[in-house]
Amino acid sequence: MSMIAPPFTLESATQKVRLAEDGWNSRDPEKVSKAYTPDSRWRNRAEFTGGRAEIVAFLTRKWAKELDYRLIKELWAFNDNRIAVRYAYEWHDDSGNWFRSYGNENWEYDAAGLMQRRFACINDLPIKEADRKFHWPLGRRPDDHPGLSDLGL
C-alpha cells in the first residue's frame, strides 16, 4: 500500500487519522516512529522531542506508565498538508488508577506523507474503572466500535 500523502482530501485525511490511531494502539514505539520524518519535531504536553530515536524513547516511557492504553482519534480539520485531530484515550497507572486523557493535535506532513511536526495538548481526567468506555481487546479499535462523537466525548 502506498503512503497517504498531501494534498489531503476529506477521505485521505480521515484515513490518515485512522492509520495514526491504529499505529498508536499497537503500542509499538518502533512501528509508530516510522510514520514520522527522521527529524520530526514534537511538542507533547511540556516535552519537546526531535527525531525518531527520541520518539521511540518517549513512546517507550509513555506506554510503560500508561497501562492498557486504548485510543480513539477523530478528524477535526485539514488543509493541504496539515491535519487537526481531537482524541481521547483510557489507561491506568501501576496502582490501578484509571484516567481518560483528552487532547488535540496539530500535524504537518512532508510531501511523502510522513509527519514532520506534531503539537499535542492533553488533559488527564481521573475516572472510575466502571466509567470506562473503551472496552475492545488491546490493539486496533474494531471498525464497529463507536468513535468519540458516537460516545458523546
pLDDT at 108 over 80: yes
pLDDT confidence of residue 51: 95
Distance CA 36, CA 53 (A): 11
What percent of the chain stands above pLDDT 70? 99
Read off the C-alpha cell for 57: 524513547
- Please tell me the distance from the alpha carbon of residue 79 to that of residue 17, in angstroms, as a whole number: 13
- Report pLDDT for 3: 85
Structural domains of the chain in order of their starting residue, each with its CATH number:
10-131 (3.10.450.50)
Please name the helix (run of DSSP H) or strand (run of DSSP E) that holds residue 119, with its range, or none: strand 115-127
pLDDT at residue 26 is higher than 60: yes
